A and B are shown apart, each in its own frame.
Chain A
Amino acid sequence: MELIGMDAAPIEVLLVEDSPGDVRLTQEAFKDAKVHINLHVASDGAKAMAFLKHEGEYANAPRPDLILLDLNLPKKDGREVLAEIKDDPKLRSIPVVVLTTSSSEADILRSYMLHANSYITKPVDLEGFLTVVKSIDSFWLSVVKLPREVSA
């Protein structure tokens, strides 16, 4: 878990991603972000759920405003994580953006069936990737109104 951001009212983003390279690229891309972002990283599905449920080392973890979720993860994969989040009344209002290398139609359909809030295929080139992260920043973190924490 790393913290990026410097302002008093940061936006909490949980990145569920096992590839350190992708984590780093995402961090680099968010450096130019318009808002202050606290980027938290969980490197597998189990850690992601623990983070969301404040378990173990994540007891004091904040509730994220946005989740960026890779699908192919060790231990518990992204599809299961997505299903659990959307099945949990406390968590389901958190927008989940699937960010994965898979462009398979089956994965796309399945993700939306599991109530993913959007699905993005990682572009293979750097410029494309930077553009995508910038778009997430400008859309999900600036344009969109996100819900406050619900206590259901």
Chain B
Amino acid sequence: MPQPRTDKGATVKSVRNHLSNPMDDVTALVRQALELSPQTEELARSRQALETQTLMLQSEARYRGLLEAAPDAMVVVNEVGEIVLVNVQAEKQFGYRRDELVGQQVKNIIPEGFAERLVSDGMRSAAEARTQQIDAGIELSGRRRDGSQFPIDIRLSPLEDAEGILVTAAIRDISVRKRTEGAVRQSEEHFRLIVSNVKDYAILMLDPEGFVVSWNDGAEKINGYRAEEIIGQHFSRFYTAEDISSGKPAFELEQAAQDGRSEVEGWRIRKDGSRFLANVVITALRDEKGRLRGFGKIARDITERQKSEEQLMKTVGELRRSNDDLQQFAYVSSHDLQEPLRMVSSFTQLLAKRYKGRLDSDADEFIAFAVDGCNRMQGLIQDLLSYSRAGTNGKALREISSEDALKMALTDLRGAVEQSGAVVTYDSLPAITIDETQLTQIFQNLVGNGIKYRRAESPEVHVSASKNGHEWIFSVRDNGLGIDSQYFDRIFILFQRLHGREEFEGTGIGLAICKKILERLGGRIWVESQPEKGSTFYFALPETERK
């Protein structure tokens, strides 16, 4: 080696000069050598030296070619941290031209870590350095010419040169990787935070044998154990003694391992020994090769929910019972009341029949009142019976023509129609699903009312129907007395009447029955009316779902 190792600056300069355009230099030197006469020792030595140098330069040129082909930025640094060689990637990454980089301190483009390392490692032998940094990339920060910093991954490899040890740094811009890593880390962090902060669910992980690996706040809240008390313990301790002896914990894990998931509800034990009803989902966790890595377990305390469900069921049961009782009561009482009433009524009527005019006029009057009272009472009881039966005949509903039902009602109303001279008209009416008798009953009541509560002129009643979304709305319009709006609700209540018995007969049952029938079918009934201008009764029935 011709260059003395002492003058580091010179070495750098010479390398730099040679490398600035190596092929030109080589050519020049060779030409020079050929021109010289190899006569003297001196000259022979010179030629040898020149040949050596030529080989070196050729090797350097190959090295140079390799550097340029490398995908990473390559920076060659000498022992004192000066950049001696860079490739085109280094120019791109750091934003300097080649001639600006060479000769600079590496500290200028890698502010921290790199230069210090060179010093601390003291540039030991290549072998030493090599063992130290065989494949460990170090993450540092690079600085571009414009001062902006970016994360880099550096791999150092020492290179024993004629001028000493040089270090080649392969530098990779890892901004994208860092950002991805950051995002992944953040997402993992968020996920961890969510899991650990969830209070209403116990979320824990078990290893494949069922030992607790992780434990969140919810698990502590529900089971009572702190994480440090339970991690490493077997999860069967949450089960009741009976469940443990019947092998339930193992069975549930097997189930999850087999089906991927198992969901159960059962009693579990808290740290303090108290029991709670849990809904537990165990999910088998497998790696990409399908090996069982453990189980995720999510549990919820459903004791309260269960309690309120039971309470609800109990209340529903009581309600149903009391409703049945009421129904039964209405039926039985009206039926049983009818028997003694029939006796009173029959015998007062027999009295009236046999003894009218044979006692005095007071007696006739008293008997007449008794007979009238009995008749009304019987009417009320009959109505009460029909009301209690309304909508409860339990027949399977089928689609019928509502027009036919109206015609049937009109047949029943024939007497009233003829007597009053009423004109009843109707539009084409749809087919709907309802018990035909009940619809007939509704029409009979509504049309009957339209005829009954009439003004001086002859009554006109019109029936029509229209579709409104998923329901049919029927209307029964009359030109009768009309109703004051303050009574719009009252008229649908059982036995509520707006007129005295002397004006219009009836018990006030008709509209109450219509309302009961319709409400049982999910429908409704209402009225629009003005006194002296007539009324329109509407009823809505949900359209039947077609299969």
CB within 8 Å of B: which residues of A?
A: 19, 21, 25, 28, 101, 122, 124-127, 129
Contact = CB atoms under 8 A, between A and B. Distances in A.
Interface in B320-344: 335, 338-339, 341-343
Given A101-B339, A122-B342, 4 more contacts: A21-B343, A25-B350, A124-B342, A125-B349
B378 A125 contact: yes
Nearest to B351: A126
Nearest to B379: A124
Nearest to A101: B339
A78 to B, nearest CB: 15
Interface in B93-145: none
A21 B346 contact: yes
A101 B341 CA distance: 12
Contacts of B342: 101, 122, 124
Given A124-B378, A125-B378, A25 B346 contact: yes
A113 B118 CA distance: 114
Contacts of A101: 335, 338-339, 342
Q: Give the size range of B's interface with the partner.
A: 10 to 19
B339 A126 contact: no
Contacts of A129: 346
A127 B345 contact: no
Contacts of B346: 21, 25, 125-126, 129
Please provide the 10 A-B residue pairs with the shortest distance between their CB atoms, ordered closest to farther.
A126-B349, A21-B343, A126-B346, A124-B342, A124-B378, A25-B346, A126-B350, A101-B339, A129-B346, A124-B338
Nearest to B371: A126
A111 to B, nearest CB: 18
Interface string B370-407: 00000100100010000000000000000000000000
B378 A126 contact: no
Nearest to A126: B349
A124 B348 CA distance: 13
Contacts of A124: 338, 341-342, 345, 378, 382
Interface in B201-221: none
Nearest to B378: A124
Q: Which of A19, A21, A122 has the most CB of B within 10 A?
A: A21
A110 B135 CA distance: 99
A101 B338 CA distance: 9
B345 A126 contact: yes
Given A124-B338, A125-B378, A126-B353, A21 B347 contact: yes
Contacts of A28: 350
Nearest to B354: A28
Contacts of A127: 349
B272 to A, nearest CB: 59
A101 to B, nearest CB: 6
A102 to B, nearest CB: 9
Contacts of A125: 345-346, 349, 375, 378
Interface in B349-371: 349-350, 353
20 contacts: A19-B339, A21-B343, A25-B346, A25-B347, A28-B350, A101-B335, A101-B338, A101-B342, A124-B338, A124-B341, A124-B342, A124-B382, A125-B345, A125-B346, A125-B349, A125-B375, A125-B378, A126-B346, A126-B349, A126-B353
A62 B130 CA distance: 135
A19 B336 CA distance: 14
A123 to B, nearest CB: 9
Contacts of B378: 124-125
Nearest to A104: B335
Q: Which of A28, A101, A125, A126 has the most CB of B within 10 A?
A: A126
A53 B443 CA distance: 54
A129 B345 CA distance: 11
Nearest to B352: A126
A129 B342 CA distance: 10
A37 B342 CA distance: 25
Nearest to A28: B350
A25 B342 CA distance: 11
Nearest to A122: B342
Nearest to A102: B335
Contacts of A122: 342
Contacts of A19: 339, 343
B384 to A, nearest CB: 13
A129 B349 CA distance: 11
A127 B375 CA distance: 12
Nearest to A105: B393
Contacts of B347: 21, 25
A127 B346 CA distance: 8
A60 B218 CA distance: 91
B177 to A, nearest CB: 84
Q: Which of B335, B339, B345, B353 has the most CB of A within 10 A?
A: B339
A105 to B, nearest CB: 10
Interface string B51-76: 00000000000000000000000000
